[in-house]
A and B are shown apart, each in its own frame.
Chain A
Amino acid sequence: MEPAPLLLLGRWVAASVLAISLGQQLFYAVLLFIALGALVLRPPLKRLRSLWSTLVDLAPPLTILVPAHDEELTIETSVRALLALQYPDFEVVVVNDGSRDRTLERLIAAFDLEREDVEPAALLAHAPIRAVYRSRQLPNLRVVDKEQGGKADALNAGLNFVETPLFCAVDADSLLESDSLLRAVEPFVEDERTIAVGGTVRVANGCRVEGGRVVRASLPRRLLPLLQTIEYLRAFVMARLAFERLGALLIISGAFGVFRTALAIEAGGYRRDTVGEDFELVVRMHRHACARRLPHRIRFVPEPICWTQVPERLTALARQRIRWHRGALETFFTHRRLLTGGYGAASWIGFASLFVLDVVTPLVELVGYVIFPIFWMLGIVWWPFILAWLALTFVAGIAISAGALILEELELRQVPRARDLLLLALAAVVENFGYRQLVNFWRLVGHWRYLRGVTGWGRQPRLRFEPA
Chain B
Amino acid sequence: MPAALRDFDLLLRLVWLGTLALAAVALSVVLVLVLRRLLDELARPRREAAEAEARRLLIGACRDAAASMETALRGLPPEFLLTLLDELTQVVRGEARRRLADVARRLGLVDRLLRDARSWRPGVRAEAARRLALHLDSGEVRGVLLGLLGDRAGAVRLAAAEGLVEAADLRPAVIARALTDSAFTHPAARRFWQRLAQLDAERFTDLFRRIVDAPRRLLLIEAAAAAGLVGLGPEIARASVEEAPELRRVAAEALLELGHPLAAAALERLANDSDAALRAAAAILIGRRQLARFRWNLQRLLEDPDPLVRFRAREAWLRIGEAAPALEGQGR
Residues of chain A having any CB pair with chain B under 8 Å: 3, 11, 18, 22, 25, 40-44, 47, 49-50, 53-54, 57-58, 61, 116-123, 160, 163, 189-192, 262, 379, 382, 384-385, 387-388, 390-392, 395-396, 398-399, 402-403, 405-406, 409-410, 417-418, 421-422, 425, 428-429
Contacts and interface: CB of A to CB of B under 8 A. Distances in A.
29 contacts: A11-B5, A40-B121, A41-B123, A43-B126, A47-B83, A50-B86, A57-B194, A117-B323, A118-B318, A119-B332, A120-B332, A163-B284, A189-B190, A262-B277, A382-B1, A385-B12, A388-B13, A388-B16, A390-B16, A391-B19, A392-B19, A396-B22, A402-B27, A406-B33, A409-B37, A418-B37, A422-B34, A425-B31, A429-B27
A120 B332 CA distance: 7
B97 interface: no
Contacts of B126: 43
Interface string B20-50: 1011011101110111011011000000000
A354 B111 CA distance: 47
Given A25-B19, A121-B311, A44 B26 contact: no
Given A396-B23, A417-B41, 9 more contacts: A3-B2, A43-B122, A54-B191, A58-B191, A123-B307, A163-B287, A262-B277, A409-B37, A421-B37
A195 to B, nearest CB: 14
B304 to A, nearest CB: 11
Contact of B187 (A160, A189, A421): A189
The 6 closest A-B pairs by CB, nearest first: A121-B311, A43-B123, A402-B26, A391-B16, A391-B19, A418-B37
B332 A122 contact: yes
B186 interface: yes
Interface in B283-332: 284, 287-288, 307-308, 310-312, 314-315, 318, 323-324, 330-332
B9 A163 contact: no
A418 B34 CA distance: 5
B254 to A, nearest CB: 13
B123 A42 contact: yes
B interface: dominant SS? helix
B12 A406 contact: no
Chain B contact patch, size range? 35 or more
Interface in B156-212: 186-188, 190-191, 194
A192 B214 CA distance: 14
Nearest to B79: A44
A346 B8 CA distance: 35
Given A190-B188, A391-B20, A406-B26, A41 B83 contact: no
A422 B308 CA distance: 54
Contacts of A11: 5
A388 B12 CA distance: 6
Contacts of A396: 19, 22-23
A417 B37 contact: yes
A392 B22 CA distance: 11
A459 to B, nearest CB: 34
B87 A44 contact: no
B49 to A, nearest CB: 20
